[in-house]
Amino acid sequence: MLSELVRVDTISNNLANSDTVGYKRDQTVVRSFPEVFVYEFYNYREPVPLGFMGTGAYVDDVFTLNTSGSSIPSSNPLDIAIKNGFLVVMTPMGERYTKNGQLMINEEGYLSTVDGYLVLGERGSVQVQQGGEIVITAGGEILIDGKFIDNLRVVIPQGGERIEKIGNNLVNFNPQPVQPEVEQYALENSNVNVVREMVELISAYRAYESNQKLIQAEDGITERLISDLGRFA
């Protein structure tokens, strides 16, 4: 039941973020406890083997699926979809990474995310000119009125290692730089399939209810056993 509760929470979070730009869905991994081989003992006879009995299950891990989401067209030149990796941004915790390509120009004239984190290029923070025509090429070059400003830094996890979510649509991992593949006037949608998540949510609820009924039945049997033994005594 505890495993199914974690599964329900994970699926609910996926559904809640189905429209969050760049969100990556989580999935639980459930592992069984070791099985026990059961024997029957009766009147000092030789034990009779009955077979293996399961001892329950637990959530071994919750991992993030780093698959691409669909591309959403946009009319904002500062909206970009990173097709092959993550943007590098500066946070109070240091460099972190995001798939959220909703960018803006902050009050100091620097390119930042909508959450206020500075977007980093190969030269550091990217300072742009307000009111100029902004072009971000497919290779990640940032041009203002045709003048080259910087190249976006895009990274992927080293050796395909797992990514760690840290909140605010930010992730952390050991980065490996890649040549950017960028689409301007577009955003990457979450990789959550709402229909599949709803089916899995119903399945998790039913599994929880089934386990709950088993526990209630076992409690009823135990209660009756204690009551009958007390009456015979």
Q: What is the pLDDT of residue 31?
A: 86
Cα-trace Rg, the chain: 27
Q: What is the mean pLDDT of residues 197-201?
A: 96
Tokens of 144: 């203002």
Considering only residues 205 and 44, tell me which one the structure prediction assigns the higher pLDDT: 205
**Nearest alpha carbon to residue 100 among 142, 72, 133:** 72
Give the residue extent of every domain in the chain: 2-65+192-232, 71-188
**Nearest alpha carbon to residue 9 among 22, 28, 23:** 28
Q: Place 48 in a pLDDT band, splitting at 50, 70 and 90.
A: confident
- pLDDT at residue 121 tops 70: yes
Q: What is the pLDDT of residues 68-87, one digit of tens each?
A: 999 999 999 999 999 999 99
How does the average pLDDT of the chain come out, rounded? 91
Q: What is the pLDDT of residues 169-196, one digit of tens each?
A: 999 999 999 999 999 999 999 999 999 9
Cβ(122)–Cβ(155) below 8 Å: no
Question: How many Cβ atoms are within 10 Å of 113's Cβ, its own excluded?
Answer: 21
Q: What is the pLDDT of residues 3-41, one digit of tens each?
A: 999 999 999 999 999 999 999 999 999 888 888 888 887
Q: What is the mean pLDDT of residues 215-229?
A: 84
